[in-house]
Amino acid sequence: MQALYTAKATATGGRDGQVKSVDGALDIQVKPPKEMGGPAGNNLNPEILFAGGYAACFDSALNHIARLEKVAVTGTSVTAEVSIGKLENGGFGLAVVLDAHVIGVDQATAEGLVNKAHQVCPYSNAIRNNVEVKLNITSSATA
């Protein structure tokens, strides 16, 4: 692979610590979610960060495919739901649900675009055959 861009961040303290990017764009505290023994409240954690990154990346891939195929969509949105759980081997794993909505096309066209986006999205490619990803696809004629 020929790298077009490289992001670099350092974590200290694991799930209960600090994450900083080298360029200073990211400087956050992370805490485990309440469900995993963390404090109550809205805390950032690796799953939220992954969900946000995956949603943004997949939405970009979806719009890229629409442009390549010259399909005039009037809007898109992608919501990523990332779950963490225990695996049979004692380790931990992730599962993802992507809710993709495409505005301005019929359902069949939306499904075609989303399925093609799933083949080009870097996050999808990075986790393919290792993380279960479920695609929920909806369309509407207007916003």
User: What is the arithmetic mean of pLDDT over 6-34?
Assistant: 96
Q: 30 forms bridges with which residues in the sheet?
A: 17
Same domain, 70 and 107: yes
Residues sharing a CB contact under 8 Å with residue 58, sequence separation 6 or more, in sequence order: 78, 80, 98, 100, 117, 118, 121, 123, 124
Same domain, 85 and 112: yes
Could you tell me the pTM of the whole model?
0.94
Residue 143 pLDDT class (50, 70, 90 cuts): low
CATH number of the domain encompassing residue 116:
3.30.300.20
**Which tens digit of pLDDT belongs to each residue from 104-123?**
999 999 999 999 999 999 99
Pick the closest to residue 33 from 49, 51, 17, 45 (CA basis): 45
Domain with 17, as residue range(s), is 1-44
**Which tens digit of pLDDT belongs to each residue from 41-100?**
889 999 999 999 999 999 999 999 999 999 999 999 999 999 999 999 999 999 999 999
